[in-house]
Amino acid sequence: MDFAQYFKGDSNAESDGLRELLEQVKTIRVLKGQVLQHSGDNQKHAYFVKRGLLRSFTTDDKGKQHIYMFAPEGWIISDIQSTAMQQPAVLTIDALEDSEVEVIRADIFEELVNKHMGSHPDFASLELHRLLRRLAVLQKRVLLLLSASATERYQEFVATYPNLQQRVSQRQIASYLGITPEALSRLRVEILKAERRT
Taking the C-alpha atoms of residue 55 and residue 41, their distance in angstroms, rounded to an integer, is: 16
pLDDT tens digits for range 133-146:
777 777 888 888 88
Whether residue 61 is contained in a domain is answered as: yes
Q: How many CB atoms lie within 10 A of CB 168?
A: 20
Max distance between CA atoms of the chain, in angstroms, equals 59
Q: Is 52 left (phi over 0), alpha (psi -120 to 50) or beta?
A: left
How many structural domains does the chain have?
A: 1
CATH code of the domain in which 46 resides: 2.60.120.10
Whether residue 165 is contained in a domain is answered as: no
Whether residue 20 is contained in a domain is answered as: yes
| Per-residue confidence (pLDDT) for residue 61, from 0 to 100 | 92
Q: What is the SS3 string spanning 63-127? A: CCEEEEEEECCCCEECCHHHHHHCCCCCCEEEECCCEEEEEEEHHHHHHHHHHHHHHCHHHHHHH
pLDDT tens digits for range 14-44:
566 667 777 888 999 999 999 999 999 998 8
Whether residue 10 is contained in a domain is answered as: yes
Does residue 182 contact residue 150 with C-beta atoms inside 8 Å? no
Q: What is the mean pLDDT of residues 99-128?
A: 71
Whether residue 132 is contained in a domain is answered as: no
Give residue 54's pLDDT band: very low, low, confident or very high (50, 70, 90).
very high
Residue 126 pLDDT > 80: no
Contacts 24+ apart (CB under 8 A), 161-167: 161/70, 161/72, 163/72, 164/53, 164/70, 164/72, 167/53, 167/72, 167/96, 167/97
Whether residue 42 is contained in a domain is answered as: yes
25: domain range?
Answer: 3-120
Whether residue 174 is contained in a domain is answered as: no
The chain-wide mean pLDDT, for the chain, equals 84
Whether residue 134 is contained in a domain is answered as: no
Taking the C-alpha atoms of residue 176 and residue 58, their distance in angstroms, rounded to an integer, is: 11
Give residue 122's pLDDT band: very low, low, confident or very high (50, 70, 90).
low
DSSP β-ladder status, 54-59 and 92-95 = antiparallel
Q: What is the mean pLDDT of residues 177-190?
A: 93
Does residue 3 contact residue 22 with C-beta atoms inside 8 Å? yes
